[in-house]
Amino acid sequence: MTGALEHLKQRIPLLDYLQQRNWTARRVGAHPEFVGLCPLHPETRPSFYVNADKNLFYCHGCGRGGDLIRLVQLSRNLSFRQSVAYLQQQLSPPVDSDVLEKAAAFYQFQLHRHPEAVQYLQKRGLCDPALIEELGIGYAPGGILRSHLADHGYSFDQLLESGLITPQGRDTFCRRVIFPLRRQGAIVNLYGRSMGAAFPHRLLPRSKGGLFAWDSMSDRSTVYLVEGLCDVAALWQAGFRHTTSALGTHLTSTQFDQLCGLPGRVVYIVFDQDRNQAGQRAARALARRFVGIPIAAFLVPLPAGHDPSSYFLSGAGSNDFLDCLQRVQWV
């Protein structure tokens, strides 16, 4: 029983579980520790800490802590057994994957009906129509997906189960650019990138399914790893097609295993060059995870203040990025 529970917690890392439920946090210190507002009680000053390596949390405000199962018990008012059953359901939710395909197709259609969405992509440097089509990028204006899918025969309960609508019946995504996340050809989640500061970026409350577009590069000996999907699009557009993303700086055990699946692989970590050094610290911490593994990890130093998307948007080209690759750092 103990082994099965440990396997369950490894399959659903605590930090991933929280982030998929829109918990926002910042990294603290050199270790993979994060702090944010406590999801268990109201507070205005962050006191809820998560250690991503140990898969544990502790809140200095309410004094409660533990592992993922304990968090589910407290947040959903469930018993231990009910919490385990709930988490097992999250690993393989009985959702018709076709509904995600239909939602993604609907969002793709909406993209070109809303000029503000196309203009947002252009401002982010993504202007290649063929690449936008290839990535399946769409737009969720909000307020119309539920009725569209209902017309295709999907019930309220099915849409709620998929995560596409809220318990109040509203569309989950509103005024967000949508990226479908695929694994082995099937959509496993949708990522909504907010076009403004009013709404956070968000995933549906389900697994993000591994590294982005990994099916197309799992056999490649060289991989570029970036933080965001706009960074992926920028590098793909510049010709660097072996670029993937973990949707952030923290890799789940599945994502890390994917990178380590080919001995001798070279991983170029191209994280944001933040003014507060957060991206740089995360990149160094990740590179150290490869020590003792037959994987070579290098840090790519972009100019200060830039991520890959803003770097190309500032006027840099493929040759400029190649120059950055000549100055890689070894940890």
* Residue 270 φ/ψ, nearest 5 degrees: -115, 70
Task: Give the Cα separation of 138 and 180 in Å (integer).
Answer: 8
Return per-residue pLDDT of the chain as tens, 331 residues: 566 788 788 788 898 889 878 788 888 876 788 999 999 999 999 999 999 889 999 999 999 999 999 999 999 888 898 888 888 767 654 556 899 999 999 999 999 999 999 999 999 999 999 999 999 999 999 999 999 999 999 989 889 889 899 889 999 999 999 999 998 888 999 999 998 776 778 888 877 778 999 999 999 999 999 999 999 999 999 999 999 999 988 888 789 889 998 989 999 999 999 888 888 999 999 999 998 889 999 999 999 999 999 999 999 999 999 999 999 988 7
Cα angle 291-292-297, degrees, rounded to a multiple of 5: 40
What is the reported pLDDT for 16?
85
d(CA 8, CA 262): 25
Cα–Cα distance between 188 and 207 in angstroms, integer? 7
Max CA distance (Å), the chain: 57
Please answer whether residues 209 and 190 qualify as being in contact, where contact means their C-beta atoms are separated by less than 8 angstroms.
Answer: no
| pLDDT of amino acid 2 | 64
Domain 214-330 fold = Dna Topoisomerase Vi A Subunit; Chain: A, domain 2 (3.40.1360)
The C-alpha atoms of residue 328 and residue 133 are separated, in whole angstroms, by 32
Quote the pLDDT of residue 136: 96
- Determine contact, residues 116/222, Cβ cutoff 8 Å: no
Segments making up each domain of the chain, as ranges: 2-91, 97-203, 214-330
Per-residue confidence (pLDDT) for residue 172, from 0 to 100: 93
The C-alpha angle with vertex 83 and arms to 78 and 88, in degrees rounded to 5, equals 150
Q: If you ran DSSP here, which 8-state letter would residue 165 be given? A: B
Task: Encode 155-184: b = buried (16+ Cβ within 10 Å), e = exposed.
Answer: eeebbbbbbbbeeeeebbbebbbbbbbbbe
pLDDT at 91: 66
Would you state the pLDDT for residue 78?
Answer: 87
Whether 102 contacts 152, CB under 8 Å: yes
CB neighbours of 8 closer than 8 A, spacing ≥ 6?
69, 84, 87, 88, 91
The CATH topology of domain 2-91 is DNA Primase; Chain A (3.90.580)
55: helix, coil or strand?
coil
Name the architecture of domain 97-203.
Answer: Alpha-Beta Complex (3.90)
Q: Sort 228 into a burial class: Cβ within 10 Å, 0-12 / 13-18 / 19+.
A: buried
Burial call 79-110: b when 16+ CB within 10 Å, e when fewer: eeeebbeebeebeeeebeeebbebbbebbbeb
User: Residue 40: which of 56, 26, 20, 61 has the closest Cα?
Assistant: 61
